[in-house]
Amino acid sequence: MSNTSESDVKHILNFVENNDVQFLSSHLELKKSALGGIGVFATQDIEAEHILLRVPKSSIFTAENSTIANALVDAEIDGMLALSIAFIYEVSVFKEKSHWFEYLRTIKWVDNEGQLYLPPSYYEDAKRKQYLRGTTLDTMYNGLSPQSEVENGFSIACDLAVKISSEYHLEIPKIFATENLDDKQIWRNLLEFVSVGYSISSRCFEIDRYHQYGLVIIADLFNHHVTSPDVHFESVFDVCDKCGEVGECGHIIAEEKLTAIEELQKKPEKIGIFDHKQLDNFTRQLENNQELSDDELLENPNETFIEDRVIQGIIPDECVDIRLVNNVKKGEEIFNSYGELSNSLLLARYGFVVENNPCDVVNMADAVIQYSRKASADLKARIDWWKDMGHEFYFVWYESKRSEEEEEDEEEDEEEDEEEPENGDSRDGKNSQDAPYDGENIQDDGQKEDFDKPSKWLDEMFIDNQGKLTPLMLAFVKLLSFNKFEWEKFYTEDPNELWDRVKCLELNSSALLSNKKTRKILEDIVAFKAKWIIPKDADSNIKILLSSENFILDQVRSK
């Protein structure tokens, strides 16, 4: 949720008016949201597929568009670090002189009481951290530990600021002025740097190969809805990574020309001498193709835009769009989605949580460890086997099975599509992105729906919001339920035989609960997961997060 205030709206709209941004102001308004900060609301009924916002990439704040772009390129700094450094220079050094200041001033990293917006890993109140110890945020994502890459980034930024001051004669931003400061003061500067990065990463989007990440005015004000987002963010991602051009550009022509020269030089027996005329013809052909591509970019037969302020000369593929995907009624708030994220990840990345979040999970790794320590020697042998090789072997088998099922489904879909008329793509080749960029702090997606190969045997030990275990945790419980005879029959060190046997570990949630052995093992594991006591003095985010974990565990206990 944005931390933009109502007093900032006039600055946002001024920037929109002065920077060729197309915003459907005849049908939309920016006002205070019940969820916090500013939201985007419909003032009239709007049908799906309309473009609500179109922002030229030249009007998006990115490191490449910033005042210190050259210094960042020379220092080979990119990504979120480059965006954070560029932001700090615009708001603290260039200020009102900056082209971006009217927009960037609306992005806050300090609240009304002067407190920094910080991720849980940098909470200053030790009590807040203690309340979250042992939660999924802590045990699954290590979300309470300071991150070395952030602190390394701060060090790089401080060194760059000294270099920029020397070469460009610019003042060093106060946040990077660490010379002659004691450790406590440097830590305060680091926390402010973390706060800036946290605020930016919670609002920015992935733009394309050239710009990488950027802050998109108004797009960053659509609040998050976990199940029913109304809009998609769309951008042409595949552009020249050197200049940002869509289609053929000078860099691509130069590369193709160089390739052509190399190819011609490899074939002297056919040409006799180097054929400059042939090469010139090839070059003209490439340039003609570029002109044709530019003309095609201006054509947009499928455009659906109901704003009376349409700016001539704007090339759609050189912009990003917010496109409506649901019909909305007058007075309704319009939502984006930041992704199917658990509350642990929402808090770590964006600073808020959602009540009744269907994407929530509870990590059971700590309970499994405690259960393993108290297990019998026979069970410990099985646990060791699972830890050493079983979980990876089962993962490979499970993925293979799932891939085959997906291929079969795709073939069926293709057969159905062949029977239906083609309607074309209304998005003009743009890639759809549901959410602001999620930052570089935590890379996991919460539910692990793709079951990325676990680096550790405990990575897949969690339960989802419906009280269901992951496939690998189900297999683990099934393994422990074997009697001695079943275990001896199953166990083998021969990979070929194991491949045939491992499928017997597959188990669904219904079968687990209906079998007394597997149910008892699950109950024993869950018993090591104590119910959270909700502290009265905890903030609402912590209370919701703890209550959600209790709800999930209660579902398992009550079945």
493 with 392, same domain: the answer is yes
Mode of pairing for the β-strands spanning 333-336 and 223-224: parallel
Looking at the structure, tell me whether residues 404 and 486 fall in a common domain.
yes
Residues 399 and 294 in one domain: no
What percentage of residues in the chain have a pLDDT greater than 70?
80
- Torsion region of 212: left, alpha or beta (phi above 0 gives left; psi -120 to 50 gives alpha): left
On whether both 516 and 390 belong to a single domain, the answer is yes
Q: Residue 225, Cα to own-chain centre: how many angstroms?
A: 15
Instruction: Give the mean model confidence (pLDDT) for residues 103-128.
Output: 94
Whether residues 402 and 289 fall in one domain? no
Determine the angle formed by the axes of helices 471-481 and 377-385, rounding to 10 degrees.
150
Residue after which a domain boundary falls, among 259, 277, 298? 298
Domain that residue 254 falls in: 250-298
Tokens at 326, concatenated: 């649901």
| Residues facing residue 333 across a β-bridge | 41
Q: Do 528 and 443 share a structural domain?
A: yes
pTM of the model: 0.81
Contact 101, 14 (CB under 8 A): no
Tell me what pLDDT residue 286 has. 54
Q: How many angstroms separate the CA atoms of 115 and 190, rounded?
A: 14
Residue where a domain terminates, one of 264, 279, 298:
298
Asked if 204 and 221 count as a contact pair (C-beta separation under 8 A), the reply is no
Do both 374 and 492 map to the same domain?
yes
Helix (H) or strand (E) holding 61: strand 61-62
Residue pLDDT, tens place only, 176-187: 999 999 999 999
**438 and 368 both lie in a single domain:** yes
For residue 292, the model assigns a pLDDT of 46
Q: Per the domain annotation, does 334 fall within a domain? A: no
Within a domain: 390: yes
Q: Return the number of other C-beta atoms located less than 10 Å from residue 124's C-beta.
A: 11
Establish if 87 belongs to a structural domain: no
**Secondary structure, 3-state, 408-444:** HHHHHHHHHHHCCCCCCCCCCCCEEECCCCCCCCCCC
Cα torsion 81, 83, 84, 85 to 10°: value is: 90
| CA 517 remoteness from chain centre | 40
Residues 288 and 401 in one domain: no
Q: How confident is the model at residue 424, as a pLDDT?
A: 39
Is residue 455 domain-resident? yes
Whether residue 89 is predicted with pLDDT greater than 90 in this model: the reply is: yes
DSSP state of 35: T
Evaluate whether residue 477 is within a structural domain: yes
Going by C-alpha positions, the residue among 41, 23, 43 that lies closest to residue 33 is 41
Report how far residue 408's alpha carbon sits from residue 428's, in angstroms, rounded to the nearest whole number.
Answer: 29
Q: Which two structure tokens, joined as six digits, stand for 347?
A: 């808090």
Across residues 467-491, what is the average pLDDT?
95
Q: Which of 14, 20, 185, 160 is nearest to 84 (CA)?
A: 160
The torsion angles phi and psi of 97, rounded to 5 degrees, stand at -75, -15
Number of domains in the chain: 2
Distance CA 541, CA 559 (A): 28
The closest of 357, 346, 352 to 33, measured between CA atoms, is 352
Quote the CA–CA distance of 391 and 83 in Å, as a whole number: 40
Residue 385 and residue 292 share a domain: no
- In the 8-state DSSP scheme, what is residue 110? B
Tens of pLDDT, residue by residue over 232-273, are 999 998 888 777 777 666 555 556 666 666 665 565 544 444
The residue from 281, 298, 315 where one domain ends is 298
The H-assigned helical ranges of 300-386 are 343-350, 365-374, 377-385
pLDDT classification of 440: cutoffs 50, 70, 90:
very low
User: What residues pair up with 464 in beta bridges, in sequence order?
Assistant: 361
- Judge whether 206 lies within some domain: no
For residue 288, being part of any structural domain is answered with yes
- For the chain, how big is the Rg over CA atoms in Å? 28
* Percentage, residues of the chain above pLDDT 90: 67
Query: In terms of domains, do 258 and 401 share one?
Result: no
Task: Classify residue 438: in a domain, yes or no.
Answer: yes
Which of 314, 450, 244 is closest to 22 using CA atoms? Answer: 314
Q: Are residues 262 and 405 part of one domain?
A: no
Whether the pLDDT of residue 48 is over 60: the answer is: yes
